[in-house]
Every structure is written in structure tokens, then in C-alpha cells.
């Protein structure tokens, strides 16, 4: 257990780096889509999107995953700590799917085949916030609560609706 705290520290730092990419890449997608007529801007955006995903996000994802597995190996009792850990795993699976979906969108934007709007990416940008809130909440409180989960989903739905409605009214 002497190394556990060091691995936990690394895990938190890796998670923060991964989340930075998850928060910023969809924002770049918004700019990319909304400035599609500006070829110079699009080329710079493509470079930024590629480097952010490949050099920051993907390594941080793998570091988060490896350090999380290492923590489970160092302290297998965590697996019997209750439903909160499995709720965290579920949110983590969703966050992983989201992360890889960003690469799909990045490639589509790079080759000019993406049909999603800036409004879509603005709303999509809220997904990691919702999932991170669930993950951190489960870890801090070490309990699974349907109330916490449903309230978080409700807040996310309201925010997404406000983003989508706000963009519709401007058009």
C-alpha cells in the first residue's frame, strides 16, 4: 500500500488531463464548424484538434485507465466496496465511449464529411461535465444514490435544453 497514494495522485492528474481534452475538443469543433468558410482557420483548427486528441487526450486516457487498474490490483478490496464503484465504472464506460466518439468527429471534420452543427457540438460539449460530476460524486461520497444520479441527469437535461433553445432563438 506504500505506492497506492502515489498511484492515486497520478490517476487524478491523468484524469484531469483527459478531462481537459474532453472539455476543449468539442469547443474546437464548434469553432471549426462555425468558421467553415475560412480555410486558413480550418487548417489551424485541424492541427489543434489532432494534437489535442493524439498527444494529450489519448495518452491521458490510457494513463487514467492504467493507474485505475493498478489501484485495483494494489487494493482489491475496492471491488467489494459497494455499488458506488460499479456506478463509477458505468459512467466511466460512457465517458470512454464519448472520448472515442470525439475521434470519429475529429476525422469527419478533417476530411470534410461531418454534417453536425455548432449547436450540436455546444450541447455535446456538456456530456463530459455530466459524466465527470457523476464519477467524482460517486468517489467522494462512496455511495450510489438514485437521487444524486437523477438530479445530475436532470441538471444536464436543463443545461442542454437551454443551450439548444438559446441557439434556436438567435437564428
Query: Has 11 been labeled as part of a binding site?
Result: yes
Angle at 147 between CA 143 and CA 152, to 5 degrees: 95
Largest CA distance in the chain: 58
CA 48/CA 1 separation, integer angstroms: 40
- Residues contacting 23, CB < 8 A, separation 6+: 125, 128, 129
- CA–CA distance from 103 to each of 15, 16, 91, 98, 141 (Å)? 18, 19, 19, 9, 32
Between CA 133 and CA 110 the distance in angstroms is: 31
The answer on whether 116 is annotated among ligand-binding residues is no
Q: Per the annotation, where are the binding residues for heme?
A: 11, 88
Q: Per the annotation, where are the binding residues?
A: 11, 88
Amino acid at each position: 500500500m506504500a505506492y497506492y497514494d502515489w498511484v492515486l495522485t497520478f490517476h487524478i492528474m491523468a484524469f484531469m488531463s483527459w478531462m481537459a481534452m474532453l472539455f476543449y475538443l468539442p469547443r474546437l469543433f464548434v469553432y471549426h464548424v462555425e468558421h467553415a468558410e475560412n480555410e486558413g482557420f480550418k487548417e489551424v483548427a485541424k492541427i489543434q484538434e489532432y494534437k489535442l486528441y493524439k498527444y494529450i487526450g489519448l495518452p491521458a486516457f490510457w494513463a487514467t485507465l492504467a493507474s485505475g487498474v493498478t489501484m485495483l490490483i494494489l487494493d482489491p478490496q475496492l471491488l467489494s466496496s459497494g455499488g458506488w464503484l460499479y456506478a463509477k465504472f458505468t459512467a466511466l464506460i460512457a465517458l470512454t465511449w464519448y472520448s472515442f466518439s470525439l475521434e470519429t468527429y475529429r476525422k469527419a471534420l478533417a476530411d470534410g464529411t461531418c454534417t453536425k452543427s455548432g449547436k450540436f457540438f455546444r450541447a455535446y460539449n456538456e456530456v463530459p461535465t455530466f459524466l465527470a460530476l457523476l464519477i467524482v460524486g460517486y468517489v467522494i461520497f462512496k455511495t450510489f444514490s438514485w437521487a444524486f444520479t437523477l438530479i445530475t441527469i436532470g441538471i444536464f437535461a436543463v443545461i442542454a435544453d437551454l443551450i439548444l433553445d438559446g441557439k434556436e432563438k438567435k437564428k
